């Protein structure tokens, strides 16, 4: 089984929030390695190329090319759990400093405090 690490940018089959279907989309793995190792799924943050519209919890991915993305993008506070078997491939990764900012903004959207 492929190991997936926190901060990895992947292509995965994501279900629409209204239940009407699914689509291959880029996403960011936000779950910890212990979670990822012990389960058949990972927790992801959605990634969007609609950088003109930013909501609470969204974070600009400044190093989007290094992350393997084709266009400027945002990591969103749209969170899902997906089975690892739905992951098609890994594109790249978010660096630790940028990931910390994404984590902080998602926590803020969820009303969580980070130690």
Are 13 and 82 within 8 A, CB to CB? yes
pLDDT digits (tens, 9 = 90+) for 64-108: 999 999 999 999 999 999 999 999 999 999 999 999 999 999 999
pLDDT cut 90: percent of the chain above it? 85
Token pair of 76 as six digits: 């969103």
Per-domain residue ranges for the chain? 8-108
- 90-105 CB burial, b ≥16 within 10 A, e <16: bbbbbeeebbeebbeb
pLDDT of residue 59: 97
CATH number listed for the domain at residues 8-108: 2.30.30.110
Which pTM was predicted? Answer: 0.92
Whether 33 contacts 67, CB under 8 Å: no
């Amino acid at each position: 089984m492929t190991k997936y690490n926190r901060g990895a940018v992947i292509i995965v089959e994501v279900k629409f929030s209204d239940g009407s279907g699914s689509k291959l989309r880029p996403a960011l793995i936000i779950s910890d390695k212990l979670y990822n190792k012990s389960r058949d799924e990972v927790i992801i943050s959605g990634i969007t190329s609609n950088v003109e519209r930013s909501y609470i919890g969204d974070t600009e991915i400044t190093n989007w090319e290094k992350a393997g993305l084709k266009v400027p993008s945002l990591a969103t506070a749209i969170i899902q759990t997906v089975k690892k078997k739905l992951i098609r491939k890994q594109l790249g990764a978010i660096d630790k400093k940028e990931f910390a900012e994404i984590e902080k903004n998602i926590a803020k959207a969820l009303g969580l405090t980070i130690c």
